[in-house]
Structure 1
Amino acid sequence: MPITLNPLTLTVDMHILVMTRSTLSHGFGGFQRQCIDLCEGFVRLGHKVTVLTTAHPDGILKEEQSGFIVHFLTPSRPRRLSRSWFKASKKIIEEIHREDPIDVIHSNEFAALGVISWAKRRNIPITVVCHGSFRTGLLSFLSSADRRPRYWHWLLLTPMFMIRRTLMWEMPMRRNSSNIILVSPTLEGDFRLFSHNKVRVIENGITLPERREPTTGNGNLRLLCTGRAEREKGFHLAIKAVAEISELDLHLDLVGTGAYLDEMRLLVDNLELNDRVTFHGRVDDQELSRIYSSADIYLIPTIRYEGLPLALLEAMAHGLPTVASHIGGNTDVITNDHDGIFISPGRLDELVTAIRRLGTDPALRSSMSKAARETTERRFDKERMVRETIEVLSSLP
């Protein structure tokens, strides 16, 4: 495809191949949302986008989404990168390139590992987006690992697997990429040793909803958690906090699906909280926005070291005061006691104290609500994220 200058955006029209282990077709989460937001943004700026990802949960092989084509490669497992997926990506990329030459590859983490040699032979640059690092992955595992004796072998085997994956998958991607995009400044130190001259921080961005008036009453208060239902997300702590705070009229909304969902439902049953906790499952963007707008306090009691949670940005954009673990990318976003409250990861007592503090102080909720909205308006607009990413892609040799 000949590269031409787009007169509306003053950028080069490109064919961008996006490679990722999952999209919104695989489940609800910030990783998936960020990928699709970028693809939609690239299309709006006049670029052609093709997406390669893992197998669709329903067996679909190809579909069009918002102006770009998504190929679900088989044989592979949904959301799982593997040797078979790398082999399949190498096969299909040649067909795509013959039909319309690829100008640049945008790889979510090490999804493009299987096509490194192919791209180098054709002088096609690869940009890698990193949402975490070996250090953050290891710390997340250690903070949530089951330490009962029958699981001790996993305390040894999992770090060994992570080291192997880093050496065989992550490091080759770093060496052979033209640029590395980090979603949070907290990750810069982890990439300084081997890849410092390639690194660019582009913080995640979101679509800013309409402003809303913060809640000021002391009546029924709705707490909200969103994201994939995984133990590391700490949703079980939010459920236990509701059980402990009997003096406030609280209701907890949980949005998302995942492997830990059944255990959370069982916990709600055991604590007799069925009338105070609602499981919404996966919802569309319109329903999610409605749930955000009806919430009073957002909770992100994660024990996982995440890059920059989109869910946190979405909640703050809706003017929700947030109680968040002091961990990972959360520390780049929240200013404690200004637009949110930090707690120590895994500390139920601190979570309970923070909810009580916000629940009994409408003036504090109001001031944090306004500050949270101002933070997202100033730093986390989605169009800024798309524009900065295109600047990186269009500047590659």
Structure 2
Amino acid sequence: MKQQMPTNEPGRSAPPCPNLMIVTRQFGASGQPWIWRQVSGIQGFKKQVVWWKRENTVSQPRNDFEEFQISGDPAPYDNRGRWLHRSRTAMSGNFYASVGKERRQIAELMAQLHPGVILCYFGDMAMRLLPVALEQKVPLVAYLHGDFLFKTNRWYRWSLRACLEHFAAVVVVTNAERDWLLKHGVPSHKIHVVPCGAPISVFHPVRDLGNSELNFIMASRLAEEKGCHLSIAAFSKFLKIFPAARLSVFGDGPQRSDLEQLVAKLNLTNRVIFHGYVGQLELAHQMAKHDIFIQHSLRKEGSPVSIVEAMSCGLPTISTPVGGISDLVIDKVTGLLIDEGDVGRMASSMALLAADEDLRRKYGNAAMERAASRFNSDIQTEILQKILEGACVRAARTFV
């Protein structure tokens, strides 16, 4: 397929590509509002969002982009048929590559849409689309997001190593990911650290609440890796010192039922309230009413958007130095960092901030300033847009 790429005249920056294909396994997921924000915020392209699963069409509606669905298994390389899929892709060394009917469907859609560049969330999608992108000479930008599967899944690691040199650019959200990519031969100019950030125009503090109770908040996908059960256990210990405090839990996920049972077992039903998933406007409204944000992430973590949202609202954070969290939270400056699994230390950190309003305000103000200066999602989206435009310029030089 002949690509109509923008020219790059000396002394002039090339205009952005007319068509941008954005590919994600699920679009509108409650735990990934930042994808919708980025897609909505990117300008200068005709945006075409391709997905296998669509969620939350009310809170994350279609804006200035088209949507296209790919039928079939959203993750054939992870489900029951993974061994068959691996056998069909073994010769390529990319065990995540699309094959058969799905590959033909993707190729036909790309031929129809004529993308000038492809943005894939996340590594599995990038590897899935890469063979077709190479065939049709379309630059592909891979957006990794701190899942660190290259550390825990050998099939993912082998495949990623085979694909890295073919990506037009790789976007990551943590410095740890960048270090791994550099170690495995990716040139530094192709790696871009772009944390998701939060819309600080939406998430901002509310002063003089006039509420004597101390309110903690958790906001995340309710999954094992978020350590919600440990946060609740720490809150239970903390209540022995500050029995009037409350904990609000926002979000949904596979562990919600287990967490609700844990709350009942610990006799915390009057102190821990589950609100489920809410849209960003409601979350911003609720978050600003709270005093302290907590998240006990375990083993892996990208750049948690909810932490930046809390920072933007002027809340100090108590969390673990996992993945990109240590890039966000500065210990004893914008919050407190504790070791994974240390419930006692988390409870004592909660007590420390609960007892010292001046310290809470000091950390919260520093957090708010850090969020505004380094993690404004509008600015991060502009950076992502320039990366995509740059991929187009380089492709124009190559595919002629």
Q: Secondary structure at the match of 1:369?
A: helix
Question: Which residue matches 2:106?
Answer: 93
Q: TM-score normalised to the size of structure 2?
A: 0.82
Q: After superposition, where does 1:214-293 map in structure 2 within 5 Å?
A: 219-244=212-237, 245-248=239-242, 249-293=244-288
Aligned-partner Cα distance in 2 for 1:337–1:305: 22
Q: 1:157-191 CA deviation, whole Å, 9 max, x = no partner?
A: xxxxx1123213x2233232111111122222111
Give the aligned residue type for 1:309. P
Q: Secondary structure at the match of 1:377?
A: helix
Give the CA deviation at 1:18: 1.1
Question: Which residue matches 2:328?
Answer: 333
Give the aligned residue type for 2:198. I
Instruction: Say whether 1:51 aligns with 2:49.
Output: yes
Question: Which residue matches 2:30?
Answer: 28
Q: 1:180-215 CA deviation, whole Å, 9 max, x = no partner?
A: 111122222111123431212222222103642556
Report if the CA contact (8 A) 2:314-2:367 is conserved: yes
Give the aligned residue type for 1:93. I
Report if the CA contact (8 A) 2:316-2:364 is conserved: yes
Moved more, 258-267 or 96-105: 96-105
Aligned-partner Cα distance in 1 for 2:35–2:76: 13
Instruction: Say whether 1:115 aligns with 2:166.
Output: no
Question: Which residue matches 1:205?
Answer: 197
Give the CA deviation at 1:265: 0.7
Give the CA deviation at 1:290: 1.6
Aligned-partner Cα distance in 2 for 1:79–1:298: 37
Report if the CA contact (8 A) 2:149-2:156 is conserved: no
Aligned-partner Cα distance in 2 for 1:215–1:327: 33
Q: After superposition, where does 1:3-82 map in structure 2 within 5 Å?
A: 11-24=15-28, 27-29=29-31, 32-42=32-42, 45-56=43-54, 65-77=62-74
Aligned-partner Cα distance in 1 for 2:332–2:347: 16
Give the aligned residue type for 1:183. V
Q: Secondary structure at the match of 1:107?
A: strand
Report if the CA contact (8 A) 1:110-1:173 is conserved: no
Give the CA deviation at 1:269: 0.8
Q: 1:226-270 CA deviation, whole Å, 9 max, x = no partner?
A: 111112211112211222222311111111111111110110111
Instruction: Say whether 1:189 aligns with 2:179.
Output: yes
Give the CA deviation at 1:19: 1.3
Give the CA deviation at 1:79: 11
Q: Secondary structure at the match of 1:363?
A: helix
Distance verdict in 2 for CA 1:80–1:350, change over 3 Å: farther
Distance verdict in 2 for CA 1:322–1:85, change over 3 Å: same
Identity, % of aligned positions: 22
Q: 1:332-363 CA deviation, whole Å, 9 max, x = no partner?
A: 11111111111111110111011101111111
Q: Secondary structure at the match of 1:283?
A: coil
Aligned-partner Cα distance in 1 for 2:50–2:229: 34
Aligned-partner Cα distance in 1 for 2:117–2:346: 45
Distance verdict in 2 for CA 1:353–1:216, change over 3 Å: farther
Question: Which residue matches 1:390?
Answer: 385
Instruction: Say whether 1:172 aligns with 2:162.
Output: yes
Q: After superposition, where does 1:146-165 map in structure 2 within 5 Å?
A: 162-165=153-156
Distance verdict in 2 for CA 1:211–1:193, change over 3 Å: closer
Question: Which residue matches 2:89?
Answer: none
Report if the CA contact (8 A) 1:302-1:346 is conserved: no
Q: 1:100-123 CA deviation, whole Å, 9 max, x = no partner?
A: 311001112220333323222322
Question: Which residue matches 2:376?
Answer: 381
Distance verdict in 2 for CA 1:215–1:243, change over 3 Å: farther
Give the aligned residue type for 1:201. V
Question: Which residue matches 2:145?
Answer: 131
Q: 1:137-164 CA deviation, whole Å, 9 max, x = no partner?
A: 53xxxxxxxxxxxxxxxxxxxxxxx112
Q: Secondary structure at the match of 2:98?
A: helix
Instruction: Say whether 1:106 aligns with 2:119.
Output: yes
Moved more, 93-102 or 254-263: 93-102
Q: Secondary structure at the match of 1:16?
A: strand
Question: Which residue matches 2:296?
Answer: 301
Aligned-partner Cα distance in 2 for 1:172–1:377: 38
Distance verdict in 2 for CA 1:265–1:320, change over 3 Å: same
Distance verdict in 2 for CA 1:237–1:290, change over 3 Å: same
Give the CA deviation at 1:10: 8.0
Distance verdict in 2 for CA 1:56–1:204, change over 3 Å: closer
Distance verdict in 2 for CA 1:372–1:239, change over 3 Å: same
Unaligned segments of structure 1, at least 5 residues: 139-161
Distance verdict in 2 for CA 1:206–1:220, change over 3 Å: same
